[in-house]
Structure 1
Amino acid sequence: MILSQMKPPYQITDKILKLVVSISEKLGEVKATHLYKPPTELRKKNRIKTIQSSLEIEGNTLTEEQITALLNDKRVIAPQKDIVEVQNAIKVYEQLQNFNPNNLTDLEKAHAILMQGLIEDAGKLRIKNVGIVKGSKVEHLAPTGSLVKGLMNDLFSYLKTDEDVLLIKSCVFHYEFEFIHPFLDGNGRMGRLWQTLILMQQYPVFEFLPVESLIKKNQQEYYNVLSLSDKSGHSTPFIEFMLDIILQSLESLLKTQNRTLTPQDRIELYKDIIGNNHFSRKDYLQNFKDISQATASRDLKWAVEQEILIKTGDKRLTKYQFNFT
């Protein structure tokens, strides 16, 4: 729970430290094998998996096949509410890059897209009091409506200024977000979405990592650790659970993808890294250490012919720049 201007309570346990180390190692492998931006087909598949899992946790009935059909503008026979939920989620995930994870206004904008046509106050922090009811008992009594804005400001302040590693902070944010329950509806899917966004800033692979499908497989445990963290007054159990889920999803990505890069793949990946800057063949080789000088020359020659790159200078003084026009 957050008290005004204080750091959310949690302990860094041995388990958390071990998980952070293991995740960091896996992220290193992801970088070394150039999986931080998986092939287009896998990205699309994982995005569909993410949307399907996150919404199924909230009771949505659409299958991956139906979501694929909606992505391709095909007609789907299903409850209208379920279709709207999926269409909204597709829109939000398409715009993920545009949101700043450290900005409360951006969080409200994302919620407005996610819940458009589903609730009246989409994108607005709640001012009413709410409780989460499971069966016949109140599972969680959220902080009163008048405190929500202040609590959310404190949470974003923690996210922006705290010195802890981002992996841990993203889990703390996810838990505290669910505890505060800042919106009347859509808090579960928003909390999971925002954790992804927070992690993406440092590790691009999280945009395409279906963490949600592992949460879905362990849904009961997800709710149990949320409840356990509520009862214990700190998010430690939830951090341990989420880091374990993140580790499993990275292991699964590395297991299923033995990626052979094409020249086009390498050029596309390098474009993300170098942006608008000039570079040499030597710079290019620094990023793809497993290819020969001849292969690097062929890649760059191909990209120049395709007008993807602009070449200047000659021989040793040759420089390249991506053509953004």
Structure 2
Amino acid sequence: MSKYEPPLTVTPRILALVAEISELVGLLAAHPDSGLTPQLRRGNRIRTIQASLAIENNTLSVEQVTALLDGKRVLGLPREIQEVRNAFVTYDAMANWRPGSQDDLLAAHGMLMQGLIDDAGHFRKGGVGIYRGVRLLHMAPPASRVATLVQGLLHWLVKNDWHPLIISCVFHYEFEFIHPFADGNGRMGRLWQTLLLSRWRPVLAYLPVETVIREQQEAYYLALAAADQSGEATPFVEYMLQALLQALSEAVGSDQVGDQVTDQVARLLNVLPIGISLKANELMDRLGLSHRPTFSKNYLKPAIAMGLIEMTDPHSARSPRQQYRRVAK
């Protein structure tokens, strides 16, 4: 078997996103109890599954999914109810799987698609394309090549030494490109990326990044298409890292993580000496950040709320000339 090497250009944007995500993951990992209570785990898992299935046109709401888990009767299509039940069984079993194992990959698909398709847990035997309406977005490789391509991808997964964040995104794209199953490829790709991320940092097993993808569903498909057109995973990796960063920013910025912003405020103060005024983009450059919502929520707003930084033009908060300066204390 020839060596499988997914094509990728590691751009400055990818490196910046990896750095920001790693920082936020570090904050979560430093305070594991704040984000991993049983209630929060369950709530995030419900949101993850509901969003991942909604991307595949399942119409059940978060409230209905919650009711199903509580053993209550829910009015809905039998197939959609089965999808939810399968997904929870599958995610609960995730900790036992080896990311590079083809047997575990097939077993996971068998659980996820049980009772939904005839060949659950088996590679497809026919051709398949990805459509949006009547528009063909991607024609997958022929069925005769699927087993070899999956084997090569899993071998690459185990042997390469890229950063785990990049590996998980590349795998997600390459998996969708191969499209190894007759159905369930999207939810399997997202599931396996979560598995990969959880092996790097266990806290990510319960990060509901699928909710971000659901909100940006068109961008998700456009990123897949852009990667197809460019012949490498780069556009999709950039998109997925951005989605992960947004999901983490929401988690770190929520009440789940309390006073963790203190370290970030200290970093902001370190790059803004007393007597100097800088614009938001200049502060972000000094911090090595590229995601404006993360900077605003976790750095700038807390510092202003603490009375440590102030706006040079407080009466026009959105002014393009707005700058920020240290408050001398």
TM range (shorter): 0.7 to 0.9
Deviation at 1:114, TM superposition (A): 0.5
TM-aligned CA distance change 1:127 to 1:241, over 3 Å: same
Deviation at 1:202, TM superposition (A): 1.4
Structure 1: which amino acid aligns with 2:175? F
Deviation at 1:99, TM superposition (A): 1.2
Partner residue in 2 for 1:147: 145
Match of 1:253 among 251, 254, 258: 251
Alignment of 1:117-128 (within 5 A): 117-128=115-126
- State percent identity of aligned pairs: 48
Deviation at 1:260, TM superposition (A): 7.3
Of 127-136 and 33-42, the range deviating more from structure 2: 33-42
For the 8 Å contact 2:48–2:211, the answer to whether it is kept is yes
Tell me how far apart the structure 2 counterparts of residues 87 and 43 of structure 1 sit (CA, whole Å): 17
Match of 1:31 among 29, 39, 47: 29
Tell me how far apart the structure 1 counterparts of residues 215 and 70 of structure 2 sit (CA, whole Å): 27
Tell me how far apart the structure 1 counterparts of residues 216 and 132 of structure 2 sit (CA, whole Å): 18
Structure 1: which amino acid aligns with 2:36? P
Tell me how far apart the structure 1 counterparts of residues 53 and 135 of structure 2 sit (CA, whole Å): 24
SS of the residue aligned with 1:121?
coil
Unaligned runs of 5+ in 2: 260-329
For the 8 Å contact 2:47–2:62, the answer to whether it is kept is yes
Deviation at 1:133, TM superposition (A): 2.7
Partner residue in 2 for 1:199: 197
SS of the residue aligned with 1:61?
coil
Partner residue in 1 for 2:174: 176
Match of 1:114 among 87, 100, 112: 112
Partner residue in 2 for 1:315: none
Alignment of 1:159-174 (within 5 A): 159-174=157-172
SS of the residue aligned with 1:138?
strand
- Residue deviations 1:43-88, cap 9 Å, x none? 1111000010000000001011111111111111101110000010
TM-aligned CA distance change 1:4 to 1:218, over 3 Å: farther
Tell me how far apart the structure 1 counterparts of residues 168 and 255 of structure 2 sit (CA, whole Å): 26
Partner residue in 2 for 1:208: 206
- Residue deviations 1:256-313, cap 9 Å, x none? 134579xxxxxxxxxxxxxxxxxxxxxxxxxxxxxxxxxxxxxxxxxxxxxxxxxxxx
Partner residue in 1 for 2:154: 156
The answer to whether structure 1 residue 93 and structure 2 residue 91 are counterparts is yes
SS of the residue aligned with 1:6?
coil
Alignment of 1:250-289 (within 5 A): 250-259=248-257
Unaligned runs of 5+ in 1: 262-325
Tell me how far apart the structure 2 counterparts of residues 258 and 91 of structure 1 sit (CA, whole Å): 26
Deviation at 1:6, TM superposition (A): 2.9
Tell me how far apart the structure 2 counterparts of residues 68 and 257 of structure 1 sit (CA, whole Å): 22
Match of 2:224 among 212, 223, 226: 226
Match of 1:52 among 50, 53, 73: 50
Alignment of 1:284-295 (within 5 A): none
For the 8 Å contact 2:55–2:217, the answer to whether it is kept is yes
Tell me how far apart the structure 1 counterparts of residues 211 and 185 of structure 2 sit (CA, whole Å): 17
Deviation at 1:205, TM superposition (A): 1.1
TM-aligned CA distance change 1:6 to 1:101, over 3 Å: closer
Deviation at 1:42, TM superposition (A): 1.0
TM-aligned CA distance change 1:141 to 1:47, over 3 Å: same
Partner residue in 1 for 2:186: 188
Deviation at 1:31, TM superposition (A): 1.7
For the 8 Å contact 1:53–1:213, the answer to whether it is kept is yes
- Residue deviations 1:6-56, cap 9 Å, x none? 310010000000011111111111122225851111111110000100000
For the 8 Å contact 1:36–1:204, the answer to whether it is kept is no
CA-atom RMSD in angstroms: 1.6
Tell me how far apart the structure 2 counterparts of residues 79 and 135 of structure 1 sit (CA, whole Å): 22
TM-score by structure 1 length?
Answer: 0.77
Deviation at 1:134, TM superposition (A): 2.5
Tell me how far apart the structure 1 counterparts of residues 218 and 72 of structure 2 sit (CA, whole Å): 33
Tell me how far apart the structure 2 counterparts of residues 109 and 225 of structure 1 sit (CA, whole Å): 28
Partner residue in 2 for 1:243: 241
SS of the residue aligned with 1:201?
helix
For the 8 Å contact 1:35–1:205, the answer to whether it is kept is no
For the 8 Å contact 1:16–1:243, the answer to whether it is kept is yes
TM-aligned CA distance change 1:35 to 1:215, over 3 Å: farther
TM-score by structure 2 length?
Answer: 0.76
Tell me how far apart the structure 1 counterparts of residues 34 and 202 of structure 2 sit (CA, whole Å): 6
TM-aligned CA distance change 1:84 to 1:258, over 3 Å: closer
TM-aligned CA distance change 1:170 to 1:238, over 3 Å: same
